[in-house]
Structure 1
């Protein structure tokens, strides 16, 4: 009994260190909210903040957010296996999220996928995988797996392909040749200073 309580306490500490809401930690660990609030204060030096969890509609609302969530979910499934679509694997969630943050740190300079998901947002996606609100799909053209909301208009769109198209369009615009000065001046009806004048 003591060992089981100790294991639950250690799990709660690990989750709180990662920034998980105490309401979620209570659900996962089975510890009383009052105990978890004390642990949160000892670890972070402040009281836990209240607030609602985000919805998957928000987390998957754009191609960039969808690609971001797909990176996390792919790592989560790599450690938890197909079983993550039936129940949440907390150990796989922690390991996948840690590696996900490492991957995102390498992309921070380019801001490719926006800010990383925190552990609470990751848990929401993991939860909705088990209910069928989040689905795994594979893009036929690029063969990359991604996640989508079951009832989202984006459910059939690959976010990776969408970002590639968007990036290519921006690159083409940036690489467009500039007009020569003389040609530009002529179009605006301005005299060319280098042209010779005839008396």
Structure 2
């Protein structure tokens, strides 16, 4: 199933799907848009083997969400824009929310591929003060800017956010030139396990009933 917003890159926010349903699961779906494609608004969500296309903040919201075995395809944005894959919106450090991207492939969409050298693409930026996003065991192609992450506005949230990477591969996964923010971390397997389907979503208690395949832990 495909969810598509055809507004294009110059129409600013143009959501294809807004999801606020608890225990919601999308399997083998495609989400196509430009800015703000997929609004993972709230509650527990799981996406497996989905394709997601967009430009600015194209996965955003404040759900507790895991994307597993998915494909993320940054597209060509409007002139002067950069791509940010995520804009997570956690507003309180006590919220058990965040975006976990696991065993997922990040490659340029066809329209962006010839422009990788001039259009910058980042893993995310902090929409809210306690923004939390992790990339675990993903393949990152060369489109990812060496700094990895981008600020929202000056030093907003840079000391309160939690951004982390664990055991990613590919030419865009090198962390040696990443941002040096207080809130950015290269984590170990113990910390990464906090963001797996089993621990982050309590997925073993409800995903088997959906019939959707999943990996409960790290691979």
Give the TM-score taking structure 2 as reference length: 0.21
Greater relative contact order (Cα < 8 A, sep 6+): 1
Structure having the higher strand fraction is 2
Structure with higher Rg: it is: 1
